[in-house]
Structure 1
Amino acid sequence: MHTNNFKILFALSFTVFINTLSFGQDLPKKSKTIEPVVKDSVTINLDKEKIDKELSEQAKDSTVTDSVKPKELLEHIVKYSATDYTKFNHKKNKLYLYNNAKIDYGDMNITAGSITIDYSTNTVYARGITDTIEGYTQKPVFTQGSNVVEPDSILFNTDSKKALIYNSITQQGEGNVIASLTKKENDSVYFIKEGRYTTSQNLDDPDYYIRLLRAKIVPGKKIVTGPAGIYIYNVPTPIWLPFSFFPQSEKHTSGILIPTFGEQNDRGYFLQNGGYYFAINDYVDLAVLGDYYTNGSYGLRLESTYSKRYRYRGNMAFRYENLITSERGFPDYARNTIYNLRWSHSQDSKASPSSRFSASVNVGSSTYFRNSLNQINQGSNFLTNTLSSSISYSKTFQGEPQVNFSLSATHSQSTNTEEATINMTLPTFQGSIGRMYPFASKTGSKKGIVQNINLQYNVRGENRIQTTDEFFFKKEMFDEARAGFQHTIPVSTNFKVFKHFSVSASTNFNEVWTFKTFKKVYDNEARRLVTTDTIKGFDAYRTYNFSTSVGTTIYGLFNFEKDDGKNRKIKAIRHVIRPSISYNINPAFDKYYETAEVINAEGQTAAELEILQSTNALNYSRFDGTVFGQPNQRFSSSMGISLANNFEAKIRDKDSTATEPKKIKLLNSLNFSSAYNFAADSLQWSPVRMNGSTQLFENKMSINFGATLDPYALDNNNNKINKFNINNGGSLFRLTSANLTASWSLSNKNKGKDKNKDGANVNPDDPNGVLPENLDFGNQQINQNQNKDKDEGEDKGPSKFYNHKIPWNVRIAYAVNYANTRRQSEISSHSLMFSGDIDLTENWSIGASSGYDIKNQGFTYTQFRFQRNLESWNMNFSWIPFSQNKSWNFFIGISSSILKDLKYEKRRQPDQQL
């Protein structure tokens, strides 16, 4: 493929420009050199009262009195203490503190094994103490403000605030600076010589560090160095920089974002995710990122995060890509633009108890995740087949009754095809007035059919829009919008009869407003009704219905315990039955229907027109196609029957100390339901629907199942007829559909203690526990070393040479669906999905996720994951072995965010042409 040379030079110049701005040398201002603190001639009194006392004991000339009051040399009160002794040497004018010594002076604090204060030179020397058993202990800890230094020894001048620090460890942000010699210039500047910067947790033997020959540290702001090179396990690498800059700001600051580089299949070399980060203020930020490809393709991303404590938080991202395939003039040249907008907003519950605003927006091109070239959008994102959004605001007005209202906007879009339909509501309004009891007593509880009568008022308004990507947010999108309001007033009551039966009755009044209706005609050629005219203007219809139900609860107990003294495993089984019968009446509202005209009716006989009229083929409602649909045309009088069951058992607890039997669920639910339509002239019985669920193996496996049983038979053309299946030579019911789903989560975590063959409990996390005899280390020296450690009484923790308990987890999901509505008797779908992770060692883990379509005999989306924790580094490898997104990615880099650009990444991108 030919690549434009100008665009390559542009990309390289952009890289040079970023690298130039990414590093800088911060040179310290010239100042006077620091003389050795031992030659400092300035005297200082560490304690005014103590000095006055010492002077009073010395011989004084009583005839000489100084009338000028001396200036106080100390700005703060000095406090000191020590465990063993505090000794003052009058001759040398020194104060000695030994063992757990501590001195406080203003914001400065020093703790050490030994501290010497020299009055004559105003210096404080702190060091550890040497023990013949433990060695060098109680190393000094120097604290000033938020800065903490842990050296071997320190020499500090209380007057100039300067110090010499030997073999120090200083935490700076996420990393630590280890220096052989550090000179503290003042409260905010340190100079170091022969230092090491690392983010490793093991500071005694870091797995990596950046060697700093010379460096300047401004705590909480920056580290500026001279020549610096990377060492891995004390082995130098050829990576050296003449100077470097490490930002250490405790606040977020603006700065350049370093891009990643690579090569894409047919678009040349690229730079991705490079740009600038704007730290706008403490509540909001903005990142402007861009992608550039040498064939002319480019991308732009804007990302912002905002947050205010106890108020709200959210993030927003806009992504745009201009993709060019091949080169201009070639037959396969193509240019395509895709975009995506995401917004997430959540309100803190403390911000406003009576109102709430939330947003979750994901809108854009239908093919964005399938065609995007940016690395952050690749991977499993291509499986996204639906984009959905929701923005809502709700408000509650407290009172009696309570009033609520909400405004929302929704969006749903399929990404399977480029011409996918987009459904939107802009907006939806919902309002309600809380439940009211007009006949209830003002005092006492509500009893009886009259006092329990209650009513509500609900209103819902929608403006629905249906469009495609081509007309998204264009004028044509709003031309087909349909709006309307629906008002409902439900009235209900409930009461008990015969003490054990609960009865409820309700009626519902419904009124629909619309601003657009439709006129239809019957097209004889198409043999259907077609819309010919849209009538704009206000119109409305009103409907109502009635329903009642009665139900009860029956408890059954099967007791297996007998007075024979036997301790049976199953104590009892309880069966709970909840039968319910309901009755519904839905009147027919024929007045909202009319007869359509017949077009192209030449040659049609009166008998044919009469057949069309008798079958209601010419009847239609002008409200058909409006937001809330058309009113009911057919009278319905139906009875519903349902039966809900669940089964529980009491069993003997395995724990011998338990005083009560253990309760388990045999079946969480087992439900049956059907209906009978009194107003229908045929097929009055509805199919029997059955569904249930249970959990097995201590709730690790969940099973859901369901089936549909039809009592009516089929004719020779597999059409349902008004004849029971049992009367047609078949069974009582005909199985038309069935489904089964099962999910199983397995893990070896929380398994309790292992046991050896002698029955002794073994805790795998306890290194002093009993080890299995058949465990072979393969190295006798290791056993000897372990025994030596035990003899010395040292707790070394679990051995790193083996892991007798490997953590793992597996998730399995199985689904099968059966269809037999027209005697096809086939498995409509049959699949098995699984995923899992294994921690081979403390630092090694592997994982995989896949599935198998048993019906079509093919694997679903499959991915393998390998990860290695390298202490301060992280290495991972992901692999998609097949599918149109076949690819792999290898990454190794420092885990710390401050050095996240110190990495190596290699990937094989999927072939977009597939």
Structure 2
Amino acid sequence: MAIQKPSHTFTKIHLKALHTNNFKILFALSFTVFINMFSFAQDIPKPTDSIKPAVKDSLVINAKDLIKNEAPAEKAQDTTKTDSIKPKKELLEHIVKYTATDYTSFNQKKQKLYLYNEAEIDYGDINIKSGSITIDYSTNTVYAKGILDSIGEYTQAPIFTQGSNVVEPDSIIFNTKTEKALIYNSKTEQSGGTVIAQITKKENDSVYFIHRGKYTTAEDLEDPEYYILLRKAKVVPGKKIVTGLANLFIYEVPTPIGLPFAFFPQSEKQTSGILIPSFGEQNDRGYFLQNGGYYFAISDYIDLAVLGDYYTNGSYGLRLENNYAKRYKFRGNLGFRYENLITSERGFPDYARSTVYNLRWSHSQDSKASPSSRFSASVNLGSSTYYRQSLNQINTGNFLNNTLASSVSYSKTFEGEPSVNFSVTATHSQNTNTEQINMTLPTFQGNVSRIFPFAPKVGSKKGIIQNINLQYSVRGENRIQTTDSSFFKKEMFDDAKTGFQHSIPISTNFKVFKHFSLSASTNFNETWTFKTINKVYDNLNDELITETVNGFDAFRSYNFSTSLGTTIYGMFNFKNEKKENPKIHAIRHVIRPSISYNINPAFDRYYESAEVINADGLTQADIDILQNDPSLQYSRFEGGLFGVPGRNFSSSMGISLANNFEAKVRDKDSTATEPKKIVLINNLNFSSSYNFAGDSLQWSPVRMSGGTQLFDNKLSLNFGATLDPYALDNNNNRINKFNIDNGGSLFRLTSANATMSYSLSGGKDGKGQNDSSDAALNNPEDVLPKNLDFANQQIGVDSDKDEDDDDEAEKSAFYNFKIPWSLRLAYAVNYSNSRRQNEISSHSLMFSGDIELSPKWSVGGSSGFDLKNKGFTFTQLRFERDLLSWRMNFSWVPFSARSSWNFFIGIKSNILKDLKYEKRRQPDQRL
């Protein structure tokens, strides 16, 4: 390749060649005429007519016929047409573009082109930007370097770009013909890291040879806090770095951490590779290796990590972690964990062996994939004792988890009028304390949207008739109740319950006396079941026997309800002529009273008496007495999914009262033109009911609930109570006598509860103000322990993570004395007095906080205190140090059965995350 000379240079040289004398011009013209004459003499003369003979001869052959019948002669190939010598390559293959701010100068004698100040050259996929660029046409070389500014500082260093590779050296010498280059003091980014080399030889556009290069992921390339010295290395951008002797330097101090040779994969795509395990020792299981394995980069859409744990006493664990994603379609992850735990040694009396497992699956569908259908999954199931017995540190943060829940669902909507939708859902709920498991495999739900059969086609609906509407829904379930020991065994499916329930609600609403809203509704239900029961009474053994009957059966029920409600607004103004701008402008009280009436008929036809067997010696009167015994009355639908039809007639009235208090106060901001609105009490609700059909205890307890937020929504407070109007007898049972008539108060407090969450912080930006978000108040997990396994969290491994603004840190050389901190509190108390026990059933305080001692040092912890049992809950202390390109963490559980600690120091960058040191003390296993 050669760099094109300026066009004016070619023109100048060409004109110089035409400045000759007259003799030479005359000679050239004569030579041209001679050549033209010679070329004409070689032309074939035009054919002329031959002399025809006087006498025609029949044997004379026409020359034209002979020529027509004769095969055309083959044209001879010119041997000079194909030459073994390749034609000379064009001077330039691409268009050359060059610019410079100060000047562009060409030295004809030296055949050099000079570009100065913000010089730039574009040729094909090559771009060079520099302060000074010199092009030597005689040697086909380009020399680029920076320039010195007015204060003598070296600026505008070269930036050499070829394709996607960018090199920033101090200077560069590039050969345009061979495309080789010598690069001095270069900095090249390679897949999240940077290679700093004193001398780099560019062999071609894909191979570089480096002498004494430094590979680092530090941000400060002028003074990196660490680097790996590559004494001799070969770099293939985007593919690999192969080096000889290499070792780690920390602040220019060599360390013995190194390798005689090394291979650094460099790829913009994910690649397969080994996952380095962490090691340690546990008291009763010996030495161990954890979380080591292999990562499979299957494709751009799916991957797989196979990890394992091994202990020298024979215990082992296996983990499979999978991630998958397809843009605009779906994404998810799947994980399976299995551990085989061995305690003590075989032959000893305390020898024990157990297995635990856990399966997790999360799947979400992109909303753009299918607007009318959706599939999602959130699965977490396994052994109830998994989180308590697991030896792997990644499960320590879930030690307090008492519930496992799963849900897999698919839904589909058919647009139209009315619209139809259905969903199929499989759910799972598991209590890890009781080991009770509830599953639905599956649940089917179908709905037809609301229909207004009497509504006008145009305009709004008015009156009782036009507002009549109905819906249809069907729900089917296959419900299973089992335990850990029977999970996915035959007996688990034998006890499954299956059924369907069809529901058609019909309702209407309209205004009464302008200010009241009246609604009325009736609901028709039909329930299908595939298992019923039959009860018989064995008189001889005095035993009631229940038999299961397989087969289809159904029952129908209906009810009626109506409600009347309104909204009342009350305003208390404090603004008057004397006080034009008081602190409290007004308080608004919103009351929403509501009264309802419900009728549930009695469906006696679905009830019968147990058949009496072994009735020898009994008279018919005795049998009739037994069959009329209420204890022998039953419904064959007992134990069904959707309950049994109501046997007792119910006619009840419900009363509820909802309150809301808001205030307008003077804003602290003097520039504000309107007062500030705050919530005093949010949703202070009272509710009760009265059963007209009941013969005693007709009033139900009054239930009260409420909540509010204080201190600029930093304190969230919720409370509730139950008030019983009836008294207790000497055996602490409710009696049909009001408590006030029994010498007590109007209501008897039977239960109460209160919860509080508070989140505050300070010291940020030196303001010392509480700066917390509402999300922290509503997330109880903020006060729970964190994960102890820092190596697997991959926190901060991304070099593009959010950092504090450097400009803010450079404003002052001293650290602000107002230390940033945060504190999260959760308080809960429950009171019980339903049977005169008068006790606090639970009383606890949980807290979690963090303190940033310096911009790089932070400490934190989480714990709690059981105020009833006088003891601390699960406690964890955390220490963290940001070492720029490195990260150091220490976590400690000081006491409890899970007492342990973990120390970790490693590089943040994902490419070098295996360069780490980790030391931990596992918790002693207690079975």
2:520 counterpart residue number:
505
1:443 is paired with a residue whose SS is coil
In structure 2, list runs of 5 or more residues that go unmatched.
Answer: 36-85, 770-806
1:672-691 equivalences in 2 (<5 Å):
672-691=686-705
1:678 Cα offset (Å): 0.1
Counterpart of 2:677 in structure 1 is: 663
Equivalent residue number for residue 242 of structure 1: 260
1:555 aligns with 2:513: no
Alignment pair present for 1:900 and 2:858: no
**Residue deviations 1:476-522 (CA, integer Å, cap 9, x gap):** 21111111100000000000010000000000000100000112356
Question: Following the alignment from structure 1 to structure 2, what is the Cα–Cα distance between the partners of residues 609 and 826?
Answer: 49
After superposition, the C-alpha distances for 1:55-93 in whole angstroms (9 at most, x for unaligned) are 325446977999999641222111111111111111111
Pairing 1:179–2:182 present:
no
Q: What's the counterpart of residue 737 of structure 1?
A: 751
**Equivalence for 2:460:** 445
Aligned letter for 1:850? S
1:194 to 184, 187, 212: 212
Stretch moving more, 420-429 or 196-205? 420-429
Q: CA deviation at 1:303?
A: 1.7
**In structure 1, what is the equivalent of residue 413 of structure 2?**
396
Mapping of residues 69-88 of structure 1, within 5 Å: 71-88=89-106
Q: Is the 8 A contact 2:762 2:768 kept in 1?
A: no
Asked whether 1:594 is paired with 2:608, we answer yes
1:170 aligned onto 2:188: yes
Residues 376 and 630 of structure 1, relative CA distance in 2, 3 Å threshold: same
Is the contact made by 2:282 and 2:924 (CA closer than 8 Å) also made in structure 1? no
Q: Could you say if the C-alpha distance between residues 446 and 580 of structure 1 is closer, same or farther in structure 2, counting changes exceeding 3 Å?
A: same
Give the CA deviation at 1:800. Answer: 4.4
Alignment of 1:539 with 2:572, yes or no, is no
Q: SS at the partner of 1:250?
A: coil
| Aligned position for 1:585 | 599
1:572 maps to 2:583: no
Alpha-carbon contact 1:45-1:51 (below 8 Å) kept: no
SS in 2 for 1:370: helix
Output the CA distance in 2 between the equivalents of 1:338 and 1:612: 52
Instruction: Tell me which amino acid in the other structure corresponds to 1:425.
Output: T
| CA distance, structure 2, for counterparts of residue 340 and residue 238 of structure 1 | 41
Question: Which residue is 1:315 aligned to?
Answer: 333
Q: Provide TM-score, normalisation by structure 1.
A: 0.87
Q: Which residue of 2 aligns with 1:112?
A: 130
1:866 lines up with 2:879 in the alignment: yes
Cα gap change, 1:565/1:291 in structure 2, threshold over 3 Å: closer, same or farther? closer
Contact residue 102 and residue 110 of structure 1 kept, 8 A: yes
State the Cα distance separating 1:861 from its structure 2 match: 1.2
| Distance (whole Å) between structure 2 residues aligned to residue 502 and residue 649 of structure 1 | 27
Q: Distance in 2 between matches of 1:293 and 1:816?
A: 44
Q: Does 1:215 align with 2:236?
A: no
Higher-Rg member (1/2) = 2
Structure 2 residue 399 is the aligned partner of structure 1 residue 382? yes
Q: Hey, what's the Cα distance between the residues in 2 that align with 1:636 and 1:382?
A: 47
Cα distance change of structure 1 residues 246 and 157 upon mapping to structure 2, 3 Å threshold:
same
Query: Deviation at 1:423?
Result: 1.2
Which residue among 697, 710, 719 is the counterpart of 1:705?
Answer: 719
Alignment correspondent of 2:379: 361
* Distance change in 2, residues 1:500/1:162 (3 Å): same
Distance in 2 of aligned mates of 1:190 and 1:402: 65
Question: Among 253, 278, 297, which residue is 2:271 paired with?
Answer: 253
Structure-to-structure mapping, 1:430-829, within 5 angstroms: 430-521=445-536, 532-597=546-611, 616-748=630-762, 797-829=810-842
**In the alignment, what sits opposite 1:763?**
none
Q: Structure 2 length as normaliser, TM-score?
A: 0.86
Partners of 2:184 and 2:472 in 1: how far apart?
79
**1:483 aligned partner, one-letter code:** T
Task: Kindly indicate whether the alpha-carbon contact (under 8 Å) linking 1:816 and 1:829 is maintained by their aligned counterparts in 2.
Answer: yes
Letter in 1 for 2:510: F
- Following superposition, the deviation at residue 749 of structure 1 comes to 6.2
* Cα distance, 1:243 vs structure 2: 0.5
Higher relative contact order (CA 8 A, sep 6+): 2
Contact 1:86/1:95 (8 A) holds in 2: yes
SS of equivalent to 2:741: helix
> What SS is found at the alignment partner of 1:519?
strand
1:165/1:688 CA distance change after superposition, 3 Å: same
What is aligned with 1:266? 284
Q: What is the aligned length?
A: 830
1:841 aligns with 2:854: yes
CA contact (8 A) 2:317 2:340 kept: yes
**Alignment partner of 1:405 out of 419, 422, 427:** 422
- The answer for the alignment partner of 2:316 in structure 1 is 298
1:195-237, CA deviations, whole angstroms, 9 ceiling, x for partnerless residues? Answer: 1110000111111111111111000111111100111111111
* Matched-pair contact (CA < 8 Å) for 2:505–2:523: yes
Q: Which moved more, 1:89-98 or 1:72-81?
A: 72-81
* Match of residue 6 from structure 1: none
Counterpart of 2:11 in 1: which secondary structure?
A: helix
The residue matched to 1:285 in structure 2 has which SS? Answer: strand
Distance 1:569 1:521 in 2: 76
Report % sequence identity: 74
Counterpart CA distance in 2 for 1:252 and 1:573 is: 61
What corresponds to 1:46 in structure 2? 4
Other-structure match for 2:440: 425
Deviations, residues 837-888 of structure 1 (Å, cap 9, x unaligned): 1111111111111111101111111111110000000000111111111111
Instruction: Give the residue type in structure 1 aligned to 2:4.
Output: L
Helix, strand or coil: the match of 2:459?
coil
Kindly state the Cα deviation for residue 613 of structure 1 after the two structures are TM-superposed: 7.3
Structure 1 residues 443, 887: closer, same or farther in 2, change over 3 A? same
Contact 2:611–2:627 (CA under 8 A) maintained in structure 1: no
Question: Retained in 2: the 8 A contact 1:392–1:407?
Answer: yes
Quick one: distance in 1 between partners of 2:863 and 2:545? 48
Q: Whole-Å Cα distance in 2 between the matches of residues 713 and 597 of structure 1?
A: 40
**Shift, 1:176, TM fit:** 0.4
Which residue of structure 1 aligns with residue 146 of structure 2? 128
**Partners of 1:255 and 1:53 in 2: CA distance:** 61
* Amino acid in the other structure paired with 1:743: S
Which one-letter code corresponds to 1:595 in the other structure?
S
Q: CA deviation at 1:716?
A: 1.3
Q: Is the 8 A contact 1:649 1:666 kept in 2?
A: yes
Matched position secondary structure for 1:727: coil
Bigger mean CA offset, 70-79 vs 676-685: 70-79
Letter in 1 for 2:429: S
Say if 1:695 and 1:703, in contact at 8 Å, map to a contact too: yes
CA 1:152–1:631 in 2, change beyond 3 Å: closer, same or farther? same
Contact 2:726 2:734 in 1 (8 A): yes
Partner of 1:778: none
Deviates more, 1:274-283 or 1:541-550: 274-283
Give me the whole-angstrom Cα distance separating, in 1, the residues matched to 2:12 and 2:364. Answer: 68
Residues in 2 aligned to 1:913 and 1:604: alpha-carbon distance in whole angstroms: 61
- Which residue in the other structure is 1:891 paired with? 904
Does structure 2 conserve the Cα–Cα contact (< 8 Å) formed by 1:484 and 1:514?
Answer: yes
For 2:78, the equivalent position in structure 1 comes to none
Looking at structure 2, the residues matched to 691 and 334 of structure 1 have their Cα atoms a distance apart, in angstroms, of: 50
Distance 1:612 1:854 in 2: 54
Question: Residues 535-588 of structure 1, C-alpha deviation per residue, up to 9 Å, x if partnerless?
Answer: 000011000000000000000011111112542111111110000000000111
* Aligned amino acid, residue 549 of structure 2: I
